[in-house]
Chains A and B, each alone.
Chain A
Amino acid sequence: MATATATPTGTPGPKVNRIGLPVLEYRGGKTTLCAGCGHNAISERIIDALFEMGVQPERVMKLSGIGCSSKSPAYFLSRAHSFNSVHGRMPSVATGAVLANHTMMALGVSGDGDTASIGMGQFVHMMRRNLPMIYIIEDNGVYGLTKGQFSATADIGSKLKTGVINDLPAIDTCAMAIQLGATFVGRSFSGDKKQLLAMLKAAIAHKGTVMLDVISPCVTFNDHEGSTKSYKFMQEHDEPINELGFVPSFEEIDIEYDAGTTTDVTMHDGSHLRLRKLREDYDPTNKVASVHTLMEAHENGEVLTGLFYVEPQKPSFTDLLHLVDQPLGTQPESVTKPSAAVLQKVMAGLQ
């Protein structure tokens, strides 16, 4: 392909990644979200992760629903096709797009309103199918574009700016995703650069549904005293369950690690995820225990972050469909249109 920015030899150019692209080629349009919005930090980490992993921008499809979060694909990776669909229904659009071209990387951005209320029906079925894609919830507990109503991930007892108290329990999208069949499930915080970047890089290496719930404070409607999705609350209550180290397949791996304190997960593409335990005996490959831990944390009022569950080898939805290697969308007519002889045979059978 025509590489956009070939650095002239001899002159020191900008730092490029392993496919020769500078970070600029991973950027998007100027954000129109509020200054300080957690979503902008997440966009930055997505840019870093794609750059560092050396992902070819044209090999990515960006998908989103409706809401503040769903606007964000316009703010990173302009060189990738993007589809800002309808409210809560990005999973179905993503499913169709992945089926049409399963050779690409699908990256979905949703919000807590877009996912946990109007989009719950599609969300759970996408998790269940283990569709190969990265699904990020930029989770701030409120509807931003309609000026600050509670969403279904708002914690019970949390308070709106107007003083309204939320009296319904929060939906834990991570616990649901694990139970339903997603194979890479974690929670992070937009303010935790290191954890989020490592999680995103590992997500890129995963084949199957990645579900990341990223707490992303809304500076305008939900960053006050009494909110459980504020910067302050997260800084005080963020309880990482493990520390993520990621060694991509194209880097030398340091074989040494302490099996007693660290879990090593070999990803589908040969890269390694090193999870240093911060909580005794937490096993991110144990489905039942991971859901149990999340439920327990709710009881204790803790906000757990980290990688909760990973199952790198489970067949994805496209594996189960036994698709041909070439994308369905660009199959030639010689493959997709049966011959005249075939029609003749069908007609003969109906006589």
Chain B
Amino acid sequence: MATGDLALGHEQSNSAVVDAQQRVVNDFSIQVATVNGSGSQSANSVLLKSIFNMGVPVSGKNLFPSNIAGLPTWFTIRASKDGYVARRKKIDILVAMNAETAREDILGLHAGSVAIYDESLNLSQYRQDVVCYPVPFDKITAAVCPEARLRKLVKNMVYVGVVAHLLQIEMSSVEAALAKQFAKKQKALDLNFGAVRAGADYAAEHLSKQDPFLIERMNATAGKIIIDGNSAAGLGAVFAGVTVVAWYPITPSTSLVEATIEYLKKFRVTEEGKATFAVVQAEDELAAIGMVLGAGWAGARSMTATSGPGISLMAEFSGLGYFAEIPGVIFDVQRTGPSTGMPTRTSQADLLSTAFLSHGDTKHVILLPGSVKECFELGYAAFDLAERLQTPVFVLSDLDLGMNNWMSDPFTYPEKPLDRGKVLTAEDLNRLGGFARYADVDGDGIGYRTLPGTDHPKAAYFTRGSGHNSKAAYTEKPEDYLEIMDRLVRKFDTARTLVPAPVVTGSGKASVGVIAYGSSDFAVLEALDELRKQHAVEVDYMRVRAYPFTQSVHEFVASHERIYVVEQDRDAQLASLLKLDLAADQAVKLHSILHFNGLPIDAESILNELVVKEGL
């Protein structure tokens, strides 16, 4: 991708000297350009947590290649006193550690920004309007790291020290972050902290501060946690009592299952060393979802996680799950498509295909978490909904939410008991004398099921993806088929009342509304703040959290003149899905703001489009 979209085009000017008196405190972004596989991940994480430890709201985004070692990677850290955590287009401080991209990286900076780089790169030749801090990284590293093979890794900590000194991040904050990173590894901690100090010492002795950027202690991160969305979702599944996990590794969903496995091993092994869960790395995604449905049918709380091509492969079984009415939870951490697409870039382009995944008249319940906290909460809720509704439930997050670290309030323990849905026991069957698996006894479209192994001669029923009547017997009769298909629509309407309601901000009195979902939330909120500040325009905002849409979505559209649907895909998938639900005179109110270049959506882009479209 080069850095094309990561920074504004540069303006050449001769004003090399930046006014250091014009202080920019706790509101800027840092970009570290490295090579993947060089071990920069832990250095970037330490830098991010050092700022967090200073009490300053911070977010980090890893823009990495689909590769193991040797290709360019960028890590951006945004410090924001106002708590904005969306990607910021503008880069203020560049740490150029990758010789191959260094020229392009510095050319992409705006005037007045900062570049820290290895002195051999001589980057000052390209820009006179950027504050340049050349550092002899190899020399500093060699002095503190006698072991040559470790130098490549340790070198990264030297830039942490340089940046910490220049931004005036307290060394105790860095040390605390390091201690956490290298918990129980004293030797590694000593070595890395030595490198940080060497970097800071060098900066203190040889670099004179010429830029305005500073971190000053705040108290805005006390009690907050830092976690990625995939770990949060895995944690949600574990607290929901997941018992069977079947998966096939695929970026960016892999870390969701790996986190789940870690938590399961910690919290779900009995004193005798027996597991209260089963994890299977399946042969492919077809098998993974097959196992999920087999397990769900037999009573387990089962899940899989996938991305990109994986969700396409799950199409056939998803239709079976819908029609045979079997619970299961499918996490789809969206990445760009079509096809293989850009596996390490984010997207929201699976929404439409997931809503109707499989042939025939199939439609699915989808949950749309918009933060790491919601990855936990909806990751948990998905299991209750799947068993209550007896259907596969999809949780759609994305790479940005799933793989990046986010600051969050701690998660709240779900006190409510698990909802295992309508399951008949042998005692129930004694009382009832039998049951019809697909009959709508309660009028909510949801039948009663039994689990294999239920000790009653009338417990069994025949599950099939072929045409069946209310008693689960094979049928090709039109009236039997219609009865089942109509009931499934009633069940979907029941789902509408059970899924999480949208989150609405604004007075409700504005003439313009915005609808978005998922990780777009952060950028939308920031854009609407800017709209208010810069243009004194108030806009109402509804973040939808599930499909099928609740009644309140209709009301929101009806009560506004124009609606901008913000989403991270090319084909206006959320808007299309909304239009399917809306009356024709309401559907015409919808206009799209689309972002789909693979990078997380940013506030500036949304703001610019809103300003143009509203003629402000």
Contact = CB atoms under 8 A, between A and B. Distances in A.
Interface in B185-243: 223-227, 235, 238-243
A78 B278 contact: no
Given A97-B298, A101-B299, A322-B275, A81 B411 contact: no
Interface in B292-341: 292-302, 316-317, 320
A328 B286 contact: no
A61 B452 contact: yes
A340 B413 contact: yes
B292 A96 contact: yes
A125 B248 CA distance: 13
A99 B275 CA distance: 12
B587 interface: no
Interface string A302-344: 0000000000000000100111110111110101111010111
B277 A328 contact: yes
Interface in B79-115: none
Contacts of A89: 286-287, 290, 316-317
A351 B282 contact: no
Contacts of B238: 338
A309 B440 CA distance: 49
Interface in B449-469: 450-457, 459-466
Given A1-B455, A104-B452, A321 B286 contact: no
Contact of A58 (B241, B453, B466): B453
A58 B460 contact: yes
A342 B299 contact: no
A328 to B, nearest CB: 4
B615 interface: no
Given A79-B460, A81-B461, A96 B268 contact: no
Contacts of A266: none
Contacts of A327: 298-299, 453
Interface residues of A, number: 63
Contacts of B457: 1-4, 25, 57-58, 79
Given A89-B317, A96-B297, A323-B278, A84 B465 contact: yes
A295 interface: no
B274 A323 contact: yes
A85 interface: yes
A165 interface: no
B50 to A, nearest CB: 14
Interface residues of B, number: 74
Contacts of A103: 453
Interface string B372-415: 00000000000000000000000000000000000000110101
A104 B273 CA distance: 22
B426 interface: yes
A329 B430 CA distance: 22
B464 A121 contact: no
Interface of B: 223-227, 235, 238-244, 246, 263, 267-268, 270, 273-280, 282-284, 286-302, 316-317, 320, 410-411, 413, 415, 417-418, 426, 430, 450-457, 459-466, 474
16 contacts: A58-B454, A59-B453, A78-B460, A84-B464, A84-B466, A94-B294, A96-B292, A96-B295, A99-B278, A100-B300, A122-B283, A125-B283, A327-B453, A331-B243, A338-B239, A346-B235
The 6 A-B pairs of least Cβ separation, nearest first, read A96-B294, A329-B299, A92-B290, A336-B241, A100-B298, A96-B295
